[in-house]
Structure 1
Amino acid sequence: MTEYTGRGDPARSLAILWRTGERASRKGKPDLSVDLIVRAAIEVADAEGIAALSMRKVAERLGVGTMSLYTYVPGKAELLDVMLDTVCGEVAMPEDVPGGWRGRLELIARENLALFQRHPWMSQVSASRPPLGPNIVAKYDYELRAVDGIGLDDLEMDSVITLIDGYVAGAARGAVEAAQAEGSTGMTDEEWWYAHSPFFAKVFDPARYPIATRVGAAAGEAHNAAYDPRHAFEFGLQRVLDGIETFIGSHAVRPAESGDAER
């Protein structure tokens, strides 16, 4: 199941994202706020997945009636926008990062991966129409600064950040699925292999698939599984950065930027 951001009413979504019209709680009701509601919603999604998220579940977690939430949040669509913007505010944004542009992009990638790992439900949320909230805007601005002044034009800067963020989202999805596999199947990777290997050996002919046999054995020995998400992320990230480095190197750096044309 994939949820989509940006489905709420634009005026209401932006008002709640930027907190321009939050109301005080009604007399006789427990104290509520947008922040409390959003935090409770994030806790529900973290614990049970995005499919379990509902206004009723959030209200139960807060110990209030469902209708009381609508004083602050128009509906689930707007709530999802604010949830995503809120968790994006968790990303560290240090200014002094060693290693030039490459070190900065590497940090961005690792911070984004950690964000997906803390909130696995993010892998089931499509943000092709991102919420235009303060944390997401700040995160985008920070990421762009990692490649500012190194010879790229504005569109190329945006494309590099889109590449990094897209790579991390894909890698995170694989890592989340791998982490959830044991809970969903009741078997570790090792248990799964031992359950399947006797039957697989009866139908598999190594002579017919010599390369798959050799490489599969090497990968299985190295990872103790068919797939290691940590290795896949590290290997892929360095290859993506290598490609960006080649792309940057193909540009003639303008004189005013030559001092910041870092590796």
Structure 2
Amino acid sequence: MNSDYSGGGDPAKSLELLWGLQSRPTRGPKPALTVERVVEAAVRIADTEGLGATSMRRVADELGVGAMTLYRYVPGKGELLDVMLDSVYAEFPRRPVEGNWRAKLEEVALENRELYLRHPWMLYVATSRPPLGPGLMAKYEYELEAVEGIGLTDVEMDAAVALVNGYVHGAVRSAVDAQRVIQSSGITDKEWWLAHEPLLDKIGDVHTFPLASRVGTTVGQEFDAPYDSDHGFAFGLARVLDGIAALLADR
């Protein structure tokens, strides 16, 4: 269960920060920081140490200031997380793509994948109440352009984008979790399977589980591992796009 979620702070204060509407600090000494510097430090910590390490105190230490100083710029962790998310959404490249809707929507998926791999902490933030900042809005606009004018209603356009993004989120999170297991255990998946091969040979009865034995062996020989995230991602994305193509064909 996610313990971090967007929209957990004061919505009005988050929107002020997201759109640069907040007043500059007037009390105390001359401001030594900016909201942008605070957010950059927080994202840097989340990228390298994880979201759990990104406390207000930890960000203050990173910037070399007292924790109370941050509250002159960001009201709290909830608002900070909203701005962190929008700042990385603003990194979305929004590259122009030649071709039909399928090529454009595939590019949307690949760009989202790149973003998650660059900032894996994003995968562990619930965003049912998304930060409606300029970064997110520009990203959403670009994603909708991929399916504009292809025969979908506005509701279906939103659903198609959500379907692709949901697939990417799940696929990348599985890949990131698998990589974390390797880092934590200190051994690769291949090394783990080889170490347990004698036991697996005992329970892997080809007569009792003929399909599992055949398919599992074929996959292992193909990828030298029980699973290949790149192949799985490409295969799954193609099937998602096939589903949208079938819907359009029915029209």
The answer to whether TM tops 0.5 is: yes
By how many angstroms is 1:25 displaced? Answer: 7.9
Change (3 A) 1:70 1:147: same
Q: Does the aligned pair in 1 maintain the 2:98–2:104 contact within 8 Å?
A: yes
Residues of 2 paired with 1:229 and 1:178: CA distance? 9
Q: Secondary structure at the match of 2:196?
A: helix
Residues of 1 paired with 2:221 and 2:182: CA distance? 20
Percent identity among equivalent residues?
53
Residues of 1 paired with 2:183 and 2:23: CA distance? 40
Change (3 A) 1:205 1:89: same
Q: Secondary structure at the match of 1:162?
A: helix
Deviations along 1:4-59, whole A, 9 cap, x unmatched?
11111111111111110152586656720110000100011101111111001111
Backbone CA RMSD of aligned residues: 1.4
Q: Does 1:116 align with 2:116?
A: yes
By how many angstroms is 1:204 displaced? Answer: 2.6
TM-score in terms of structure 2 length: 0.96
Residues of 2 paired with 1:244 and 1:192: CA distance? 39
* Matching of residues 1-263 of structure 1 within 5 Å: 2=2, 3-24=4-25, 28=29, 31-95=32-96, 97-251=97-251
Alignment size in residue pairs: 250
Q: Structure 2: where are the runs of 5+ without partners?
A: none
Q: Does the aligned pair in 2 maintain the 1:25–1:32 contact within 8 Å?
A: no
Change (3 A) 1:184 1:22: farther
The AA in structure 2 aligned to 1:180 is R
The AA in structure 2 aligned to 1:142 is Y
TM-score in terms of structure 1 length: 0.91
By how many angstroms is 1:99 displaced? Answer: 2.0
Residues of 2 paired with 1:176 and 1:250: CA distance? 37
Residues of 2 paired with 1:207 and 1:158: CA distance? 48
Q: Does the aligned pair in 1 maintain the 2:109–2:168 contact within 8 Å?
A: yes
By how many angstroms is 1:227 displaced? Answer: 1.5
The AA in structure 2 aligned to 1:232 is G
Q: Does the aligned pair in 2 maintain the 1:178–1:229 contact within 8 Å?
A: no
Change (3 A) 1:214 1:66: same
Deviations along 1:109-132, whole A, 9 cap, x unmatched?
000000000001011111111111
The AA in structure 2 aligned to 1:188 is T
Change (3 A) 1:25 1:115: farther
Deviations along 1:216-246, whole A, 9 cap, x unmatched?
0011111111111111100001111111111
Residues of 1 paired with 2:167 and 2:113: CA distance? 10
Residues of 2 paired with 1:173 and 1:21: CA distance? 35
Q: Secondary structure at the match of 1:67?
A: helix
Residues of 2 paired with 1:173 and 1:150: CA distance? 30
Q: Does the aligned pair in 1 maintain the 2:6–2:81 contact within 8 Å?
A: yes
Change (3 A) 1:25 1:192: farther
The AA in structure 2 aligned to 1:74 is P
